[in-house]
Structure 1
Amino acid sequence: MPALQWLRDATTPADRALILALCLLLPLALWITQSRAAGRTVQIFQDRTLLAELPLAQERRIHVPGPLGDTVVEIRDGQARVLSSPCQGKQCIRAGWLAHAHDSAACVPNHVLVLIPGDAGGDGKDFDAIAE
């Protein structure tokens, strides 16, 4: 019980209420993030133009030309990712595997967007704007 006494001495009632609220909300947050629907297709955009909508069930690599060179998108095991890109920051590669509705990776310098569309119909309008 000394640990419990320390908790009472080192925190205020408001601190303890906040800790309790976070402990109760954490499982809910995890459930929400993990329960998104799995995607069935991947859309690949270049300069706001839909280049391809491909099934995630079919393994392949796609080379998407851009102003800096080719961005390579890999589809495998029901997921898609940016495998390589000529941009400097490589944020698109760091996005990792995309498998759920509304997952995306963008190579802004190369004007490439990889998107798993949501249930809204796969029209590519899940975002209100794409940076140029």
Structure 2
Amino acid sequence: MTRETVQAYHRARFDGDVPAAAAQLAGTFSFESPLMKSGDAHGHLAGLAAFVGVVTGVEMISDLYGESEATLVYDVHTATPVGVQRTAEHFRLRDGKIESITLIFDATRRHPVPAAATARPDARDVETAG
């Protein structure tokens, strides 16, 4: 049952089908990623249309299933400067529904990078400090 539930959610999410994705989530649900947290299904799925709008493809690398958990590793191809985003997603299930998702990816390219001059001391200052 874990495999069917997670695959149904994954398909629905990347198809942009909010009702079908929501149908796989438990009444008490939480989501966490490097960019956001949500304590309910509505908050989690609210930005789905915008996300799916930039996805050009999904390439599954690995999917592992246990009795009440699953882990997917996949590449999300996007029409953004990020390009391909390697992603790991861990699911916990209870009574056949997904109760939590932890999404893991390197968000560095999604955040502004501070100027190098303000992020580190001037090299001359380092030489004289020692």
Q: The TM-score by the shorter chain falls in which range? A: under 0.3
TM-score (norm: length of structure 1): 0.25
Higher strand share: 2
Name the larger-Rg structure: 1
Name the structure, 1 or 2, with higher relative contact order (CA <8 Å, separation 6+): 2
Higher helix share: 2
